[in-house]
Structure 1
Amino acid sequence: MNQEQVKFFEAISGALPEYQNLAQSVADVLDISANEAYKKIRGTSTLSMPQLIKLSDSFATPFSYQPNQLPSVSFSYLYVNRETPNMLDYLKDLLQNLKFIQQRKEKHILITTDDIPIFHFFKYPELTCFKLFFWADNSALKFDYSAISEEIVAVAKELNQIYLEIPSTEIWSKDTVHGTIDQVRYAFEAGHISDKSLAEKIVEQIRYCLTDMNMYAISAKKTIDPDHTFNWYNCDVLGSLAYLIQFKDSMLCYNRFNTFNYLKTDDQFYCTQTKDWMQGLIKKSVAFSGQGEKHRNKFLYNAFAACDHLIAEINGI
C-alpha cells in the first residue's frame, strides 16, 4: 500500500464539502471508473505523475513527499506586490479561503495577533479602506476614501459576515489595538489624511469595532447562533501572528508576513506544533470572554481612552 498516496487522498477528502463523494469526484477528474478510483484511494493502484498533478490542481491540494532524514514544510503563499498592490485580488483570495473553511461541517479558527484581526475591520468601510491604504504603503499619496471601489467594500463586508459565522478563538497582545490607532495618528500627522472629519470617523469606527468585540465576548458567540462561538484572550507576549484552522481530521496554518502576505501549509506535524504553542499561550493568557469581565473592561477602557486621546489630537484639543 502506498501510504503517501493514501495521505494525499485523505487531504483531498478533507478539502471536499461534506455532501461530495470522494471516489466519484476522483473518477470524474481522472476519467476512470469508480472501482479504479477506490483502488487509487486505498493505495493499491499507483497514481501516475500526470494523474497526481491533475488531482492536485483540481482539488487545490498539494502532494508533498519528504525523505525521513530531511524533514521540511512546504508553504504556498499569495504574493501582493507592494509597489502596485491589487487589493481587490487580495480580498477575493481571502474570500475564497474563508468560504472553503465555512463550508466544512466542523471548523474552528485559532488566532494569535498583534493587530485587530482584519475580518473585524471589514464591517466598517472607511476603516477597511484606510487599513488597505496603509498596508499598501502609499506613503506619497493622500488617502482618498472615494477612490476605493464599491466592489472592494462589498467583498470586505462579505468577509466580515462569513467570519462571524465561523467559531473562533482570538489571542490578542497588550498592544493589539494601539497599532491601528498609531497608524491613524501617523497618517494624519504626515498629511496622508487631511480631512479631520474623516480621520475622526476612522477612529470612531475603531471604537465601534471594539464595542462589537465586547458584545461577542459577553455572550461568547459572534451571532445569535450558539454554534458561532467566540473565545477572547489577552497575552502580554505572543511572538508570532498566525491563523490555525482546525477541521475534524486535519488542520491548516496561515502565517502572516510583510504586513498582509501570508504563508499557508497543511503539513499536519507543523500544524500540531503550532496548535500546541497556541494552547500554551492560552494557559498564560487572561480570559476576556464569558466571565472575564473585570480584565476585559480594563483592557477596553484603556483602548477607548487611547481613541479619545487621538480624536482630541486631531481636533487640536
Structure 2
Amino acid sequence: MQEQFIKYLKEKAQDNTSFVDEIAGILDIGYDAAYRRINLKTNLSLEESVVLARHYKISLNKLFEIGNQNTIIAELPPEPKNEIALEHWLKVSLQNVQTISKVKSAEIFYSAKDIPVFHTLSDSFLTRYKMYVWLKDLNIDMAKSQISFDEWMKTIPDSLLQSAFALGNIYKNINITELWNDNTVTGTLQQILYYFEAGLVSKDVALKICEDVHNVISETEKQTIEQSIGPANNQRFFHLYKCDLHMLTNTIMVRTPHKKVFYSPFTVLSYFKIEHKDTCEMMNDFLNKQMSNSKLLATAGERDRTLFFKTVHQKISIAQERINMDHKMTFL
C-alpha cells in the first residue's frame, strides 16, 4: 500500500522541487529520513500518512482505497429521524447540489425507480405528504402514533418547508438526465392509498395530493418537450428517457469533466456516497448502457411521448377512483 501511496503523491507533487525535499519539508524530517520512506526502507506512520494526505488534499477514503481493488469506502449522509434532522438533511443536500450547480458542465444522472425527490419539492400537498411518509418510516415515535397527515400538516415548521423548496429550486440550475419507466409513479401512489385506507389521510386531502402528482407529471412532460427545467432562458438541459429493459434503482450519478461520484440508496432517505474511481466508472458504464437501451422522449416522436405520459396520468386517475369509492366490498 505504501508503494502505491507514494506513487500517487508523486503525481500530485510540485514539478519545480525535489520530491524528497518536498516530503522532508511537509513531515519536518531530514532528507535521509524522507528518502528512506519514499524508497520503502522505512514505513510511514499513520500520523505521517494523515499529514501527507491533508497536504496533498487526498481524502482518507482515497488513502485507504489505494492498493486494495476489492475494498471501497462509502460516506453516509445525516440520518433524518425527526423534523430537525430532516431539515438538516435537506440543507446538507442543498449545499451538495449548490456545489454541483457552480460547475457549468456538471450533470446529474438519475435512475428513477420513484419520482425524483427534486420534482416533488414545491409548495404543495405532495411535498408535505412526502415529509409525513418519510418521518413515518424513519421516526419510531411517529410510526407508533396515530397522528393523521391532516393534523401533522398544520404543525410543519416553516423553516422545514423553506429548506425543501430551496432544494427543489436549485435542481433547475443543473444539467439533468433522468431515466423513467411506466412504474416510476407507482411508489408515490401506493403511499397515498396506503395511508388513506389506514384512515390517516382524509379523502379530500388524498385527492388533492393526487392532483399534485398529476401536476408534477404535466410539468415534467412540458420540461421533456422543451428539454429544459426552469425559465425559458435557462441554459441547462433536461433529458428524460423511457427505460423498458432494466430495473431502475433511484441511483444518482454526478458527472463533471474531472470526477464522477454516485449515490446508492439503501433506506428511505439514506444512501451510500461512492467516490472510488473504478467503481464510479463501472456505474457510469452501466447507466450509459441503460440509456442506450432507452428512448429519449423529446425525440422519440409525439406518439410515444404522449402515450407514455397518458399511461402515467391514467395510473394516477385509477388511484383517484379508488379513493372516491363510496363503499368497499364486504363478505357475508
Q: Under a length normalisation based on structure 1, what TM-score does the superposition of the two structures give?
A: 0.80
Q: 1:234: which partner in 2? A: 242
Q: 2:154: which partner in 1? A: 146
Correspondent of 1:220 among 227, 235, 247: 227
Correspondent of 1:284 among 293, 298, 316: 293
Tell me the CA shift for residue 84 of structure 1: 8.0
How does 1:82-161 map onto structure 2 within 5 Å? 82=81, 86-136=85-135, 137=137, 138-139=142-143, 140=145, 141-143=147-149, 144-161=152-169
Q: Deviations over 1:252-274 (max 9, x none)?
A: 11111112101112212111111
For residues 210 and 154 of structure 1, do their structure 2 counterparts lie closer, same or farther at Cα, with a shift above 3 Å needed? same
Secondary structure at 1:240's aligned position in 2? coil
1: distance between equivalents of 2:85 and 2:318? 34
- 1:178 and 2:186 are equivalent in the alignment: yes
Show structure 1 runs of 5+ residues with no match: 10-36
- 1:243 and 2:247 are equivalent in the alignment: no
Which segment drifts farther, 71-80 or 306-315?
306-315
Question: Cα RMSD between the aligned structures?
Answer: 2.9
For residues 272 and 70 of structure 1, do their structure 2 counterparts lie closer, same or farther at Cα, with a shift above 3 Å needed? closer
1: distance between equivalents of 2:92 and 2:154? 23
2: distance between equivalents of 1:94 and 1:79? 10
Correspondent of 2:212 among 187, 205, 220: 205
2: distance between equivalents of 1:42 and 1:91? 46
Secondary structure at 2:249's aligned position in 1? coil
Q: Deviations over 1:204-232 (max 9, x none)?
A: 11111111110110011113235210111
Tell me the CA shift for residue 316 of structure 1: 2.7
Secondary structure at 2:192's aligned position in 1? helix
Q: Under a length normalisation based on structure 2, what TM-score does the superposition of the two structures give?
A: 0.77
Secondary structure at 1:169's aligned position in 2? strand
Identity fraction in percent:
22
Tell me the CA shift for residue 66 of structure 1: 3.3
1: distance between equivalents of 2:17 and 2:175? 31
Secondary structure at 1:176's aligned position in 2? coil
- 1:5 and 2:9 are equivalent in the alignment: yes
Given that residues 6 and 41 in structure 1 are in contact (C-alpha distance below 8 angstroms), is that contact kept between their aligned partners in structure 2?
A: no
Q: 1:265: which partner in 2? A: 274
How does 1:54-69 map onto structure 2 within 5 Å? 54=54, 62-66=61-65, 68=67
Paired residues, number: 287
